[in-house]
Amino acid sequence: MEIKVLGPGCPKCKQTEKNVQDAVAETGIDATVEKVTDIMEIAGYGVFGTPSVVIDGEVKSVGKIPTKNEIKTWIEK
Amino acid sequence: MAKGCCTPGGNIMILACSGGSNVGQLSNQAAVELTQEGFGKMFCLAGIGGNLGGFVRSAKDVSAMVAIDGCEIGCAKAILDHAEIPIKNYLVLTELGIGKNKDFNLKAEDIRKVKGAVKSVCE
């Protein structure tokens, strides 16, 4: 599984990345977590804002910090 | 996409039908100018209509939004309904007393009226 956290870098982005890392660690799912900070690459996902979370190419959340439990429901499917 | 880091709270997503009539183009021009003036941020309705994941998810997750249709046919509303996106604020320009025609020489007075109406409906 490939998880991307989109965001140039700020407390919200960092918290989102942490929640993703924690969710992956707690579920034990084999996943890579990548932080995407390049504005042009982020724009390519068509998101209105950041932070955003993309799992295996599917945009799961935009402009908010998803909770760890919310992320778990996405990666355990 | 926001230029700064992270979406500021209360950022209003503006979705215009941008259709092929004076009122369609009025919706577009008002959206452009409101974005330039910092009232909100115009977003791609076409991306939502094309069912592109990032666009659809963005519209579902945004906290504040206004959809602007030029006429009562309601293409913008239909696109959002089809994508199962809740419409938070909605405006039809012909209901403001602006007649629909094919004159693309938009009047400054009409643009001002539309921008004012968008701001009012978002209050």
Q: Which domain holds residue B55?
A: 20-121
- What pLDDT digit, counting tens, does each position of B27-83 carry? 999 999 999 999 999 999 999 999 999 999 999 999 999 999 999 999 999 999 999
Q: Is A50 a catalytic residue?
A: no
Domain extent for A7: 2-75
- Strand runs labelled E in B4-113: 12-16, 41-42, 64-69, 90-92
Complex confidence, ipTM: 0.89
Quote the crossing angle between the two packed helices A11-27 and A68-75, to the nearest 10°. Answer: 50
| Average pLDDT, rounded, for chain A | 96
- Taking the Cβ of residue B18 and every Cβ of chain A, the question of whether any pair is shorter than 8 Å is answered with no
Number of structural domains (chain A) is 1
Query: CA separation (Å) from A12 to B40, B85, B118?
Result: 21, 25, 30
Statement: residue B7 has pLDDT above 70: no
Closest chain A residue to B7, measured at CA? A49
Whether B8 maps to a domain, the answer reads no
Percent of chain B at pLDDT > 70 equals 92
Number of domains making up chain B: 1
Q: What's this model's pTM, rounded to 2 decimal places?
A: 0.91
Residue B62 lies in a domain: yes
DSSP bridge pairs for A25: none
